[in-house]
Amino acid sequence: MLGKLTWQAIPLDQPIPLAAGALVVIVLAVLLIWVAAKGYIPYLWREWITSVDHKRIGIMYCLLAGVMLVRGFIDALMMRSQQALAFHAAGYLPPEHYNQIFSAHGTIMIFFMAMPFVIGLMNFAMPLQLGVRDVAFPTLNSVSFWLTAAGALLVNISLVVGEFARTGWLPYPPLSELTYSPGVGVDYYLWAIQISGIGTLMTGINMVTTVLKIRAHGMNYMRMPIFCWTTLASNLVIVAAFPILTATLAMLLLDRYVGFHFFTNEAGGNAMMFMNLIWAWGHPEVYILVLPAFGVFSEVVSTFSGKPLFDRRSMVIASLAICILSLCVWLHHFFTMGTGGDVNAVVGIASMIIAVPTGVKIYNWLFTMYGGRVRFSSAMLWSIGFMVTFIIGGMTGVLVASPVADFVLHNSLFLVAHFHNVIIGGVVFGVFAGYTYWFPKAFGFVLDERLGKAAFWCWLVGFYVAFMPLYVVGLEGMTRRMQHYDRSEWYPWLVVAGVGALIILCGIALQIAQLWVSIRGRAQRRDLTGDPWDGRSLEWSTTSPPPAFNFAVLPNVTSDEPYWSIKQQARARGQLVTPEPEYAPIEMPRNSPTGFVTAFFAVVTGFSLIWHIWWLVILGLVGAYVTFVAFAWRDRHEIEIPAAEVARIDRANRAARAAALSEEPVQ
Amino acid sequence: MLRSILTVVLISLAACHTAVLSPAGPVGEGNRIVLLDSLAIMLAIVVPTIVAILAFAYWFRASNIRARYLPEWAYSGRLELIVWSIPALVIFFLGGIAWISSHLLDPAEPLKSQAEPVEVQVVSLDWKWLFIYPQQNVASINHMVVPAGVPLNLKITSASVFNVFFVPRLGSMIYAMYGMTTRLNLQADRPGVYPGLSAHFSGDGFPGMAFDVHAVTRQEFTQWAAATRSSGPVLDEAAYRKLLKQSQNVSPYTYRSVQTGLFDDIVEQRLPPGEGPPTAQSAASGSVAVLAAREH
């Protein structure tokens, strides 16, 4: 009846996962009861869960990412403390548990923290910057989000029911084959990533279509903000690379479920092919993450320097160069598999070449600050912290791209330090900058700057204290994923790294405090102008938070920095430049529970596939198909927002802006 | 912040006590030179850039009334040329180093030496290393004895999941993969003990896959081989099948002789791969295997 699922799947004999799981379940239950008692469920259902508004979906993506950041960071703390304790000792985590923790840490941080965060920011800001009302396929967007959430849920269910993969965040066969990993851990990984991966691919298609086909009048390609360009580049890579991931994991699933031999040791299987395929997705993946972060930094550095971005054309060329090169270098993940000198050298040099457009970007941000009036808000601090940190990470990246250096650094903690250096220093700092920068646009009040800056300094210092020792210990020859060791020269560095993780913990605590304090004091922190940072692109021209339709009248773009030009003209004249437009009713897509219901059936299907509950698999698939059919047969697609309502919202916005203008000295 | 980072980097490099930066053989020396040369070339551009970022941000702070404000300045063809050519030139240099060194230090290329190389066949098992010396017809587990000053010609394979053979102080690492042979050529210049490990995660027993490479004089090596031939078990197919069972933290021991062609039988898949974790039926015999391995 329940396949492989028995009471033994609940780790009643292991206190750590049991306590952690029980805590999560209790917190969720309390949260749900509180929400229900307050009567918020109809509101949440109407305004958020079924919402197809790109801004709401973007916010939900970021919220999911924030929760998963905490989850993944708890794993990181456990790993660092285990390695700080396990010198000549077993530590407190046995191998079968430690191995699950580092696998879950990588999986969660890449797939359910970094990806949702960048996709959330792209979802929120890109249509606003393009001056349009929504993405190309709003309901598909909702489905994408809920499928990602479904994957995250499955990974977290494995904490309580069964186990997670013990193979690392990329399940290399033959270790991940049934012979060597007979448990359900790898299956949890595979189905969670398959489900969320489909969501990500649909996001990629959605975003590429939006940028290419839906832009405000006059917003030609060279006038698009750089964030939209990097969104385009990133999503092109998603569309190119994610099908490879899905196909590769599907082959591993066939091996595990129906006895195929793609990657097995026996019957002609070849595990090297998995390495090849998974990195053909995996290396582009890091550029999928970092390109939108580059876009955020471009917006933030320009805004807080009070200047246009230096040399936009170079920036666009560099982004597209990275987009294409990112797909050509995956082979550097197996320099040490015995490929010859020619192959190694060609791929090594190709990998190094990516440093050229990336270096150009750094210099362009540098010269954007030149001649500017730099305001050190916390978003700008994240950006400067990024520039310094990312250069160091880029440098060590070029080091490991040199095949002969990689021969002694591959899989070492030097490598671990390198990719945390670029992912924390690049992606995480980037999403935090974007979060601080666009928060007032999303909610109509600014985040507390003092706590934000304190969080930044904790993260920055914590990062260096946690990861610089790992560079050293990597040069000492320590490899990654060691549950215990007996080499005295590694020990002090790992203790220091553990202290660094605690400093980052302070940073995260400060960020939670910042959110709490800012929400409590939102009445005083309100931003009525919709433009708290003196912004330059179109998202700052509408109210904060923007209405469902974003713009009362779609903007007509005549320059590279449309909102900045409008503001400059208004400042010169001392009054708003555009006369009040004629308001017309606006048609917006109707909210739809399709995404949520599909994801519900996806979780049911995934869970029952993991536990071999075949009747439930069929039920889940039928449910998902029925949902799709019901959506396809809908007869009312859109709702109309009356002109009077549009006028009311826009008049308030214009009045606030006129008031803000009269407070400024005329330039 | 910056100063502290640089201090850490410089101290750790200047001390050069780290395994990878204090090599004990020509291959490791090559790795080290490529690593440090590339690092030096990059630091020459990275340090000034970091300084410039901090200096620009500080000087052009909004409160500095002496700084010029150029609100419209966003393009300079000359700067654009420099901005593209600096990273391009650096990568040109580094690419050159990468190209030359990848060919000079190809792990599969035998080292140039007057001495006849010693052949060792390396098999990674769950979770121990088997070293077979075909010329001496002996074998050892988790323990390697090699003559100093003589090239080592290693053939590496795996009997189950992926592992990586890595002795940090000797240099380059290479993967061990089932059904495939990878080749690696190393040399220890001086006698000494050089710790080795698996550099690719391979399951629960992975951290216990550490082994020591004892580099000894040629005479001592000959003596060791002779002594090993005189005692210990024989590595035949039956003994090998016992090794296929999973076992952890196995203490080193030796085999006095090895069945001819065993390594080729493993690579050619004439022998089965590692068994993986014991299933419910074979759990009893699995624990026996662990005990048997520990007895040695």
pLDDT in tens, A284-307: 999 999 999 999 999 999 999 999
Q: Across all residues in chain B, what is the average pLDDT?
A: 87
- Model pLDDT, residue B286: 41
Q: What is the pLDDT of residues A573-590, one digit of tens each?
A: 877 777 888 888 898 988
Whole-number percent of chain B with pLDDT over 70:
89
Domain-located, residue B113: no
Helix (H) or strand (E) holding B106: none
Residues A366 and A241 in one domain: yes
Q: Tell me phi and psi for residue A91, to 5 degrees.
A: 70, -165
Taking the Cβ of residue A492 and every Cβ of chain B, the question of whether any pair is shorter than 8 Å is answered with: no
Residues A120 and A167 in one domain: yes
Domain-located, residue B199: yes
Residues A7 and A126 in one domain: no
Residues A110 and A18 in one domain: no
Taking the Cβ of residue A568 and every Cβ of chain B, the question of whether any pair is shorter than 8 Å is answered with: no
Nearest CA-CA distance, residue B75 and chain A, Å: 5
Residues A383 and A344 in one domain: yes
Amino acid at residue number A348: G
Cα distance between residue A394 and residue B13, in whole Å: 19
- Model pLDDT, residue A660: 80
* Total of domains in chain B: 2
Residues A275 and A225 in one domain: yes
- Model pLDDT, residue B12: 53
Domain-located, residue B93: yes
Would you say A599 and A147 are in contact if contact means Cβ atoms under 8 Å apart?
yes
Between helices A594-610 and A185-213, what is the axis angle to 10°? 150
Residues A79 and A19 in one domain: no
Nearest CA-CA distance, residue A446 and chain B, Å: 20
- Model pLDDT, residue B294: 42
* A598: pLDDT strictly greater than 90: yes
Residues B77 and B123 in one domain: no
Residue A472 token pair: 């050293």
Please report which residue ranges of B138-256 form alpha helices under DSSP H: 218-230, 237-243
Domain-located, residue A333: yes
Look up the domain containing B192 and give its range. 118-295
Pairing verdict, β B257-258 and B171-176: unpaired
- Model pLDDT, residue B282: 47
Q: What is the pLDDT of residues A355-402, one digit of tens each?
A: 999 999 999 999 999 998 999 999 999 999 999 999 999 999 999 999
Domain end marker among B49, B79, B104:
B104
Answer whether B168 sits within 8 Å of A476, measured CB to CB: yes
Domain-located, residue A535: no
Look up the domain containing A134 and give its range. 40-526+556-560
Domain-located, residue A540: no
Which of B3, B8, B83 is the best mutation test for A, with the most CBs of A within 10 A?
Answer: B83
Q: Tell me phi and psi for residue A177, to 5 degrees.
A: -75, 165
Domain-located, residue B245: yes
Q: What is the pLDDT of residues B269-280, one digit of tens each?
A: 988 888 888 875
Domain-located, residue A600: no
Domain-located, residue A649: no
Taking the Cβ of residue A661 and every Cβ of chain B, the question of whether any pair is shorter than 8 Å is answered with: no
Q: Measured between beta carbons, which residues in chain A are less than 8 angstroms from residue B56?
A: 366, 369-370
Helix (H) or strand (E) holding A662: helix A643-663
3-state DSSP call for residue A588? strand
Residues 6+ apart with CB under 8 A from A15: none
Is the pTM value of this prediction over 0.80? Answer: yes
Domain-located, residue B110: no
The radius of gyration of chain A's CA atoms, rounded to the nearest angstrom, is 25
The least confident of A59-63, A72-76, A660-664, B248-252 is: A660-664
Amino acid at residue number B9: V
Residues A329 and A410 in one domain: yes
Residue of B nearest to A414 (CA): B20
Residues A415 and A313 in one domain: yes
Domain end marker among B65, B80, B104:
B104
Domain-located, residue B109: no
* Total of domains in chain A: 2
Domain-located, residue B239: yes
Residue of B nearest to A265 (CA): B178
Higher pLDDT, residue B89 or A666: B89
Which of A407, A458, A471 is the best mutation test for B, with the most CBs of B within 10 A?
Answer: A407
Confidence of residue A514 (pLDDT cuts 50, 70, 90): very high
Sheet holding B171-176, edge to edge: B143-147, B211-216, B192-198, B163-167, B171-176
Handedness of CA A248, A254, A256, A262 (dihedral sign): negative
Residues B81 and B179 in one domain: no
Pairing verdict, β B151-158 and B182-187: antiparallel
Helix (H) or strand (E) holding A211: helix A185-213
* A439: pLDDT strictly greater than 70: yes
Confidence of residue A15 (pLDDT cuts 50, 70, 90): confident
Residues B143 and B262 in one domain: yes
Residues B191 and B144 in one domain: yes
* B293: pLDDT strictly greater than 60: no
Domain-located, residue A506: yes
Residues B271 and B179 in one domain: yes
* A3: pLDDT strictly greater than 60: yes
Residues A102 and A196 in one domain: yes
Tell the residue number behind the tokens 């050190």, with chain if given: A376
- Model pLDDT, residue B4: 60
Residues B145 and B287 in one domain: yes
Would you say A392 and A257 are in contact if contact means Cβ atoms under 8 Å apart?
no
* B291: pLDDT strictly greater than 60: no
- The domain that contains B175 carries what CATH number? 2.60.40.420
Domain end marker among B104, B137, B161:
B104
- Model pLDDT, residue B11: 57
Nearest Cα neighbor of A6 from A153, A160, A162 is A162
Which of A98, A255, A274, A408 is the best mutation test for B, with the most CBs of B within 10 A?
Answer: A408
Residues A10 and A136 in one domain: no
Q: Measured between beta carbons, which residues in chain A are less than 8 angstroms from residue B39?
A: 395, 399
Domain-located, residue B136: yes
Residues B268 and B171 in one domain: yes
For B34, which of A372, A404, A487 is closest by C-beta distance? A404
Q: Tell me phi and psi for residue A135, to 5 degrees.
A: -75, 175
Would you say A149 and A200 are in contact if contact means Cβ atoms under 8 Å apart?
no
Domain end marker among A518, A543, A560:
A560
- The domain that contains A328 carries what CATH number? 1.20.210.10
For A464, which of B1, B30, B83 is closest by C-beta distance? B1
Q: Measured between beta carbons, which residues in chain B are less than 8 angstroms from residue A341?
A: 102-103, 106
Residues A54 and A26 in one domain: no
Answer whether B195 sits within 8 Å of A359, measured CB to CB: no
Residue B63 token pair: 């409160």
* A666: pLDDT strictly greater than 50: no
Which of B6, B53, B69 is the best mutation test for A, with the most CBs of A within 10 A?
Answer: B53
Cα distance between residue B31 and residue B25, in whole Å: 10
* A511: pLDDT strictly greater than 80: yes
Residues B268 and B207 in one domain: yes
Residues B196 and B76 in one domain: no
Answer whether B91 sits within 8 Å of A398, measured CB to CB: yes
Which residues of A are marked as active site?
A: 61, 71, 75, 79, 102, 123, 134, 141, 144, 148, 200, 203, 210, 283, 285, 287, 298, 314, 358, 361, 418-420
> For residue B147, what are the β-bridge partners?
B216
Q: What is the pLDDT of residues A20-75, one digit of tens each?
A: 778 888 988 999 999 999 888 898 898 899 999 999 999 999 999 999 999 999 99
Nearest CA-CA distance, residue A42 and chain B, Å: 48
If you average pLDDT over residues A609-616, what whole number do you get?
92
Domain-located, residue A657: no
Q: What is the pLDDT of residues A518-567, one digit of tens each?
A: 999 998 988 888 889 999 999 998 888 999 999 888 888 888 888 888 88
- Model pLDDT, residue A557: 87
- Model pLDDT, residue B2: 54
Whole-number percent of chain A with pLDDT over 90:
66
For A356, which of B74, B88, B202 is closest by C-beta distance? B88
Q: What is the pLDDT of residues A235-271, one digit of tens each?
A: 999 999 999 999 999 999 999 999 888 998 888 888 8
* B255: pLDDT strictly greater than 60: yes
Confidence of residue B283 (pLDDT cuts 50, 70, 90): very low
Cα distance between residue A598 and residue B100, in whole Å: 55
Answer whether A314 sits within 8 Å of B79, measured CB to CB: no
Residues B165 and B53 in one domain: no
Nearest Cα neighbor of A82 from A66, A100, A106 is A100
Domain-located, residue A659: no
Confidence of residue B287 (pLDDT cuts 50, 70, 90): very low
* A640: pLDDT strictly greater than 80: yes
Would you say A165 and A188 are in contact if contact means Cβ atoms under 8 Å apart?
yes
Taking the Cβ of residue A375 and every Cβ of chain B, the question of whether any pair is shorter than 8 Å is answered with: yes
Answer whether B83 sits within 8 Å of A484, measured CB to CB: no
Would you say A498 and A59 are in contact if contact means Cβ atoms under 8 Å apart?
no
- Model pLDDT, residue A664: 66
Confidence of residue A162 (pLDDT cuts 50, 70, 90): confident
Residues B65 and B158 in one domain: no
Residue of B nearest to A485 (CA): B207
